[in-house]
């Protein structure tokens, strides 16, 4: 799931911002292209693509800084929903 | 406010009848009085139109966004001030549903769904650019009992009659959102008279002076993600305004079709003059394009697709500019009567201009939409 989630999240970001290159662990907020509009798009994308509703306590910057952290968030949410 | 007999919100045909009989004929009088009578707000409640998108467990009907947009279009056709009240009430209701914890949802949603409590959205401040969408002049300081809120908000639609304010304030961890009852000690509401557009939307200046709030007044996440509370609410507001602007264009078409059929100039009915036909054609095309853009944004929202955010910007950009153009043309077609309180088109013009300023002004939208175009080209 985690690798698949990484691929999907990366594809979503690079489709929107094809010129930006970054590793899965890199802080995408430090790269300066994430504005509040794209942040909301990211939240909506994750919720739709992985069929989950991110609870308020998980909605903090630390969970969205990198592709890897977002994939970890997805894994936590989807396992919480299953379990 | 709610009638006990209904089993779901009014259908579009009933909304249309409501607007034709109870709203549109009185909208100029509402504007002159700078007020929408309580009975009209109660009728909106009877028709279950305050927040029909909420799920049934909270007294809503789970109405989809496309249908909601058509409802706001119909109301906007009759009276933009009433549509504005629906817009901000929807923003507050949707926010409590999306971000509220169980206690907040149980406390507020049923009352918001049936219009027993009305919500207002408090972001803009008197001394700061509303376009910057910051809340730096309003502070919420945490102490051991909860929060202490101080600051002033201006241009608050429905502020004179709202029971619940959704207030954006700056805290130690950035901007946060608070639910504040209008009757809390320290809340002072002052009517803003003689506003040039949506004049009956009961706008207010709202001052918060040492307002004490329980910890549970905080709505949604703190810090970075608090911005998504605002973005989300403004997205719905933008959608409602876009749909309302399509309603303004429809009202302009109706008024012009009627007027040009009975009025002649130079021995010819106005309706037979080429420039009138040209303006009417422009209005019809703008209406249809606006509705299609709104439907696309609504359908994407119903699907949970993030593309709805940009689609809504585009819909609102088109519909608000087109409404100003259509209402301006309608005034032109009416000549001096366009300025008369006996005709609706002067009001349509004043109201249309508001749609170009609120929920992201035309100029701010151009920054966003053009940036998207450059991104698309770069792909
Ligand atoms: C009738 C009415 C109802 C309202 N209801 C509410 C409400 O319920 N709640 C609420 O919080 N607020 C409300 N508002 C306030 C509204 O949200 C603000 O008016 C809006 O955000 C614009 O802010 P401003 O008026 O401070 O204009 P400013 O931000 O000062 O803008 C002035 C001009 O500069 C342009 N501009 C601004 N920034 C840029 C930029 N970066 N690039 C290019 N041009 C720019 C604008 O397009 C505009 O033409 C209402 C306003 C009106 C008129």
One-character DSSP codes across B1-24: ---SS-SSPPPHHHHHHHIIIIIG
- Alpha-carbon distance of B348 to B328, in angstroms, equals 9
- Alpha-carbon distance of B314 to B174, in angstroms, equals 29
Last residue of one domain, picked from the residues B118, B135, B152: B118
Q: What is the mean pLDDT of residues B266-295?
A: 97
Q: What are phi and psi of B94, to 5 degrees?
A: -65, -35
In angstroms, what CA-CA distances link A59 with B3, B31, B178, B247?
Answer: 39, 43, 17, 37
Q: What is the mean pLDDT of residues B29-36?
A: 98
> pLDDT at position B374, please?
84
- Alpha-carbon distance of B325 to B248, in angstroms, equals 11
> Using 50, 70 and 90 to split pLDDT, how confident is the model at B3?
very low
The strand pairing partners of B156, in sequence order, are B204
User: In the predicted model, is pLDDT for residue B225 greater than 70?
Assistant: yes
Task: Let me know whether B366 and B233 are in one domain.
Answer: yes
What are the helix (H) ranges across B177-273?
Answer: 226-262
Provide ipTM, 2 decimals. Answer: 0.86
> Using 50, 70 and 90 to split pLDDT, how confident is the model at A2?
low
Among positive and negative, which fits the CA dihedral B13, B42, B155, B185? negative
Lowest mean pLDDT among A27-31, B70-74, B116-120: A27-31
What number of other Cβ atoms are within 10 A of residue B283's Cβ? Answer: 24
Give me B116's structure tokens: 């027993």
Lowest mean pLDDT among A31-35, A38-42, B243-247, B294-298: A31-35
> Using 50, 70 and 90 to split pLDDT, how confident is the model at B15?
very high
A-chain residue closest to B218, CA distance: A56
Say if CB B295 and CB B314 are below 8 A apart. no
Taking all residues of chain B, what is their mean pLDDT, rounded to a whole number?
95
What are the helix (H) ranges across B47-124?
Answer: 65-78, 80-99, 102-113
Per residue in B73-105, pLDDT (tens digit) is 999 999 999 999 999 999 999 999 999 999 999
User: In the predicted model, is pLDDT for residue B4 greater than 60?
Assistant: no
Minimal Cβ distance to A47: which of B235, B304, B379: B304
- What does the CA dihedral B43, B121, B286, B271 come to, rounded to 10 degrees? 50
Task: Give the residue with greater pLDDT, A15 vs B71.
Answer: B71
Contacting B residues, span 159-178, partner chain A, CB-CB under 8 Å? none
Domain that holds residue B48: 12-118
Task: Let me know whether B81 and B169 are in one domain.
Answer: no
B22 is catalytic: no
Minimal Cβ distance to B306: which of A45, A60, A61: A45
What is the number of residues in chain A? 83
Task: Say how many CA atoms lie within 13 Å of B243 toward its Cβ.
Answer: 26
Task: Let me know whether B40 and B110 are in one domain.
Answer: yes
Q: Report the domain count for chain B.
A: 3
- Alpha-carbon distance of A24 to A30, in angstroms, equals 13
Say if CB B261 and CB B269 are below 8 A apart. yes
User: In the predicted model, is pLDDT for residue B1 greater than 60?
Assistant: no
> pLDDT at position A82, please?
60
Instruction: Select from B53, B51, B43, B35 the least CA-distant residue to B18.
Output: B43
Please tell me the distance between residue B72's alpha carbon and the centre of ligand 1 in angstroms. 22
| B363 within a domain of the structure (yes/no) | yes
Chain B hits for A39, Cβ within 8 Å: 224-225, 227-228, 231
Among positive and negative, which fits the CA dihedral B201, B207, B211, B216? positive
Inter-chain touch A59–B225, beta carbons under 8 Å = yes
| B6 within a domain of the structure (yes/no) | no
Task: Let me know whether B198 and B239 are in one domain.
Answer: no
**Entry pTM:** 0.95
Q: What is the CATH number of the domain that holds B109?
A: 1.10.540.10
User: In the predicted model, is pLDDT for residue B341 greater than 50?
Assistant: yes
Per residue in A6-63, pLDDT (tens digit) is 999 999 999 888 888 999 999 998 888 888 788 889 999 999 999 999 998 898 889 9
Give the domains, in start order, of chain A with CATH numbers.
Answer: 2-82 (1.10.1200.10)
Q: What is the mean pLDDT of residues B238-250?
A: 98
Task: Let me know whether B93 and B133 are in one domain.
Answer: no
Q: What is the CATH number of the domain that holds B337?
A: 1.20.140.10
> Using 50, 70 and 90 to split pLDDT, how confident is the model at B25?
very high
Chain A hits for B368, Cβ within 8 Å: 37
Task: Let me know whether B233 and B368 are in one domain.
Answer: yes
Q: Specify burial of residue B349 (Cβ count, 10 A radius: 0-12, 13-18, 19+).
A: buried
Gap from B370 CA to chain A (nearest CA, Å): 14
- Regarding beta strands B268-269 and B264-265, do their DSSP bridges make them parallel or antiparallel, or are they unpaired? antiparallel
């Amino acid at each position: 799931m985690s690798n698949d989630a990484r691929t999907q999240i990366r594809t979503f970001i690079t489709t929107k911002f094809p010129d930006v290159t970054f590793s899965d662990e890199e802080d995408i907020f430090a790269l300066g292209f994430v504005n509040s509009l794209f942040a909301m798009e990211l939240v909506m994308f994750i919720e739709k693509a992985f069929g989950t509703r991110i609870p308020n306590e998980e909605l903090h910057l630390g969970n969205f800084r990198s592709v890897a952290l977002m994939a970890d968030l997805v894994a936590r949410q989807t396992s919480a929903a299953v379990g | 406010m709610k009638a006990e007999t209904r089993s779901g919100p009014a259908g579009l045909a009933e909304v249309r009848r409501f607007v034709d009989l109870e709203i549109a004929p009185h909208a100029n009088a509402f504007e002159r009085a700078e007020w929408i009578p309580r009975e009209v707000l109660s009728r909106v409640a009877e028709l279950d139109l305050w927040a029909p998108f909420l799920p049934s467990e909270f007294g809503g009907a789970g109405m989809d966004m496309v249908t909601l947009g058509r409802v706001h279009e119909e109301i906007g056709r009759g009276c933009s001030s009433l549509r504005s009240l629906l817009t901000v009430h929807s923003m507050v209701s949707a926010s409590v549903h999306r971000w509220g914890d169980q206690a907040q949802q149980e406390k507020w949603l049923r009352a918001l769904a049936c219009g027993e409590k009305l919500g207002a959205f408090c972001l803009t401040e008197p001394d700061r650019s509303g376009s910057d969408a910051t809340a730096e002049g309003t502070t919420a300081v945490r102490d051991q009992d909860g929060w202490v809120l101080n600051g002033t908000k201006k241009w608050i639609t429905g502020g004179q009659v709202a029971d619940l304010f959704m207030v954006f304030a700056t805290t130690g961890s950035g901007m946060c959102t608070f639910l504040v009852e209008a009757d809390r000690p320290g809340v002072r509401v002052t009517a803003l008279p003689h506003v040039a557009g949506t004049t009956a939307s009961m706008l207010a200046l709202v001052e918060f002076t040492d307002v004490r709030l329980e910890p549970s007044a905080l709505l949604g996440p703190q810090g970075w993600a608090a911005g998504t509370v605002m973005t989300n609410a403004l997205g719905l507001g933008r959608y409602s305004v876009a749909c309302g602007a399509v309603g303004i264009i429809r009202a302009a078409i109706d008024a012009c079709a009627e007027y040009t059929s009975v009025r002649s100039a130079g021995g010819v009915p106005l309706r037979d003059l080429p420039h009138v036909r040209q303006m009417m054609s422009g209005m019809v095309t703008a209406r249809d394009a606006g509705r299609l853009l709104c439907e696309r944004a609504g359908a994407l929202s119903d699907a949970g697709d993030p593309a709805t955010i940009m689609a809504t910007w585009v819909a609102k950009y088109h519909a608000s500019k087109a409404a100003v153009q259509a209402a301006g043309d309608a005034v032109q077609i009416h000549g001096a009567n366009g300025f008369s309180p006996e005709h609706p088109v002067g009001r349509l013009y004043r109201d249309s201009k508001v749609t170009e300023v609120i929920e992201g002004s035309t100029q701010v939208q151009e920054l966003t939409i053009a940036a998207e175009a450059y991104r698309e080209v770069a792909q």
